[in-house]
Amino acid sequence: MEQRSRPAPHVVVVGAGFAGLSATRVLARGSAHVTLVDRNPYATFQPLLYQVATAGMGTADVSYPVRTFAAQFPDVRVRSARLAKLHAAERRVELDDGTSLDYDYLVLATGVTTNWLNVPGAEENALPLYSLDDAVALRRLLQKRLEQTATGKRPGAHTVVVGGGATGVEIAGTLAELRRRTVPLTHPEIDLSKQTSVTLVERFEHVLAPYKPRLRDAAARALHRRGVRLRLGATVAAVEPDAVVLKDGTRLHSDVTVWALGVAAPKEVADWGLPQGKGGRVEVTQALNVEQYPEIFVAGDLAAPPHPLPQLAQPALQMGKHVGRQILAAAAGHRLTPFKYHDPGIMATVGRAEAVLQLANGMTMRGLPAWLVWIFLHVAYLLSGRNRISVLLNFFWRYVGPRRTATQVGE
């Protein structure tokens, strides 16, 4: 007797970040019907947002149309909308455009958002760097402050970066290089020593906490050489319109405050009726699905698996791929398998020809070799050939080209 084939499952993937696109790719190649939902019509390559914020790249360099991605797969459809309500018992989601989607399986990969850590004034007076809109807003404010200082409308353009993780180190190092190498040419009216500064505030006694001490020290020395003022072991008590106030009472004057400290799940996640863990993330099993609703999978930064993972691109990519495979296996009647993270290592760049790299086997690298590896890997993970070529050209022009052109990339 001939066995009837199972119908292809309909999977709704919410979020077009690293995890969502990775899951969609696996599902589409496995003949599932996928509806990819994201509030933006584009996917963003977040690791290079600091380059957009400092005018080294344009927005098109680090973004890619979601529909262009979906066009590679005949069974993928796209909806530009936000998840408004989840009806888990009915296997249905409502979108903010008034429509709803039924699903056989659901992948939640919306990512997280800025965590202001209940610091008074932080949300009102600091700028985050988590989305493309954040990067554009920060770039405009930085450019505005320089123009105001050059024309005498403001006394200075001092920047304070809160957070000594990879994002904070990268933005602080790049701003410091621009301050010393480019601003004297583009804004000669500004007295650098009196009217500008870059300060990095970190609550630990070192930057880049996940790294080995020798790499932390190397990154701190590289920042110091670039003129960054390091305030280590300092906790932020409040953020004012013109200052960052530390718990010891110190006021750091700030014309631009960048918040690069902590992320948390969006507030609307609490309305989904799913179990939440640290930072509001959704608790999942070892297979990355929700225990009460096994047809719901969570991937990327939004997931809180039994064993915590770093909130980086690699875990998100691997989780998305695993979720896609698990859904195809479940649809075929097979058992789910636990997710195993293969750690390729971590890296961060401080500026031109300076980066730190730490592999899972303990091997470390710093300086120019690590910087070249950092550039190669970031370019490799971009979604299109056009983006890769554009980013490579912009890297070359920013770090090798004339100093006066280092901040001339428009939107």
**Between vectors from CA 406 to CA 351 and to CA 370, what angle results, nearest 5°?**
25
Quick: pLDDT tens for 101-130. 999 999 999 999 999 999 999 999 999 999
Per residue in 355-370, pLDDT tens? 999 998 889 999 999 9
What backbone phi and psi angles, to 5 degrees, belong to 341?
-85, 130
Looking at residue 386, its pLDDT comes to 83
Query: Parallel, antiparallel, or unpaired: how do β-strands 251-253 and 243-246 relate?
Result: antiparallel
**Percentages helix, strand, coil for the chain, rounded to the nearest 5?**
40, 25, 40
Q: CA 255, 195, 207 angle in degrees (round to 5)?
A: 65
Distance CA 203, CA 60 (A): 35
pLDDT at 330: 96
Beta strand 63-65 pairing with 42-44? antiparallel
User: Tell me: the pLDDT tens digits for 10-34?
Assistant: 999 999 999 999 999 999 999 899 9
Amino acid present at 12: V
Residue in 409, 47, 13, 88 with CA at minimum distance from that of residue 275: 88
Please tell me the distance from the alpha carbon of residue 238 to that of residue 235, in angstroms, as a whole number: 9
Average pLDDT taken over every residue of the chain: 93
What is the tens place of the pLDDT at every residue in 264-289? Answer: 999 999 999 999 999 999 999 999 99
Lateral strand order in the sheet of 76-80: 76-80, 33-38, 10-14, 105-108, 296-298
Mean of pLDDT values over 173-200:
95
Q: How confident is the model at residue 408 (pLDDT cuts 50, 70, 90)?
A: very low
403: pLDDT strictly greater than 70: no
Say yes or no to pLDDT of 9 above 60.
yes
- pLDDT tens, 40-85? 999 999 999 999 999 888 999 999 999 999 999 999 999 999 999 9
Question: Cα–Cα distance between 24 and 11 in angstroms, integer?
Answer: 9
Asked if 190 contacts 183 with a C-beta cutoff of 8 angstroms, the reply is yes
User: Contact at 8 Å (CB) between 23 and 299?
Assistant: yes
Torsions phi, psi of 122, nearest 5? -65, -50
- Residue 139 reports pLDDT greater than 90: yes
pLDDT of residue 1: 38
Question: What CA dihedral angle connects 201, 204, 207 and 211, to 10 degrees?
Answer: -160
pLDDT band per the 50, 70, 90 thresholds, residue 409: very low
Sheet holding 364-366, edge to edge: 346-351, 354-358, 364-366
pLDDT score at 259: 98
Exposure b/e, 24-60, CB count within 10 A at least 16 = b: bbbbbebebbbbbbbeeebbbbbbbbbbbbbbbbbbe
| pLDDT given at position 42 | 96
Give the pLDDT band (50/70/90) at residue 404: low
**pLDDT reported for residue 340:** 96
> Could you give the maximum distance between any two Cα atoms of the chain, in Å?
86
